[in-house]
Amino acid sequence: MKEIIQQIKNMDIGRIEEDVSLKKYTTYRAGGIARCVVYPKNISKLVDLMRFLKQTGVVHKILGRGSNLLFSEKTYEGILIKLDEFDYIHFFGRGKIRVGAGASLIKVSLLAAKKGYTGLEFAAGIPGSIGGAIFMNAGAYKSDMGYIVESVKVLTSDLKIIHLENREMDFHYRSSYLQKHPDYVCLEAIIKLQKGKKEAIAEVIRDRRNRRLESQPLEFPSAGSVFRNPEGNFAGKLIEDLGLKGKVKGGAMVSDKHANFIINRDGATSDDIKYLIDLCHEKVLKNYGIDLKIEQEFVNWE
């Protein structure tokens, strides 16, 4: 692995970090050590890196802001790629934004609100990157990225850059075309919003922020909702009705404020968190026959 990292350094791809804690890269604040994290300077350097990794067969993963990932406590013996340099946000035309995959979804939402554009208020409390939000079709309050994304620039598995229109992105509840093509990399998106009244937009954001503070354990590290709500029901209610609210494993806990959140209460390990995720999933399946869809992705557990 040292030889691979040295070769990447020689390619001048961008900033490189070695042997760093994955607690730094996930909102759960848990996980083992990442052997190498690379921050490509631009698209051209990203293409060079991806070509090299494919040729050498090195395990790799694009990492956004880690808001939907749970790494194991093992060392990640591969290359993590962060697109933090792809964080540009350009407003143009009437309500259109060209935004890089590495930009903060919250930041884009708040900037749009400040300029008086409506449509992104739902995202003001979602701590992810634009790329991750598009991949997951992140949403809240009966809206999601599928309503506002006009087109997406992606890097394909054969290292071609293409543009996908909204209809080609196949946005559905918490899913997109990119989930069916995990080797594709979101590079940037064009977002289309509508003109609105700044005061009204700001009021919606404030109101929803207050509701989140009252109903969600935002004071602790978590990855947001653990499970998707099954049709006609709520995952949190099912978990709470089984008496699992407040269940503790090591430093992790099923939140006593919202049972669909598992929080890192006090130095939780990934194993603590996964134990509670698996427990809630198994209990709901056994008692209700409902196979809850887990929102988080488990990485390096093999």
Beta bridge partners of 76: 34
Model-level pTM? 0.91
Tens digits of residue pLDDT in 115-151: 999 999 999 988 889 999 999 999 988 899 999 999 9
DSSP string, 109-148: HHHHHHTTEES-GGGTT--SBHHHHHHHT-EETTEEGGGT
pLDDT of res. 170? 96
Instruction: Indicate the residue type of 244.
Output: L
pLDDT of res. 94? 87
pLDDT of res. 288? 97
Instruction: Indicate the residue type of 102.
Output: G
Q: Between the CA of residue 22 and those of 30, 67, 71, 73, 135, what are the distances in Å? A: 6, 12, 7, 9, 21
Helix (H, G, I), strand (E, B) or coil at 61: strand
Q: Is 53 within 8 Å of 61 (Cβ atoms)?
A: no
Q: Is 13 within 8 Å of 41 (Cβ atoms)?
A: yes
- Strand intervals (E) in 43-127: 60-63, 69-71, 76-82, 89-92, 96-100, 117-118
pLDDT of res. 235? 97
Domains of the chain from N-terminus onward: 2-82 (3.30.43.10), 89-201 (3.30.465.10), 217-299 (3.90.78.10)
Tokens found for residue 199: 């005061």
Helix (H, G, I), strand (E, B) or coil at 252: strand
Q: Over range 273-281, report the average pLDDT.
A: 98
Positions marked active-site: 174, 225, 295
Length of the chain: 302
Distance CA 81, CA 208 (A): 33
Instruction: Indicate the residue type of 22.
Output: L
Tens digits of residue pLDDT in 196-223: 999 999 999 999 999 888 889 999 999 9
pLDDT band per the 50, 70, 90 thresholds, residue 195: very high
Mean pLDDT of the chain: 96
pLDDT of res. 257? 95
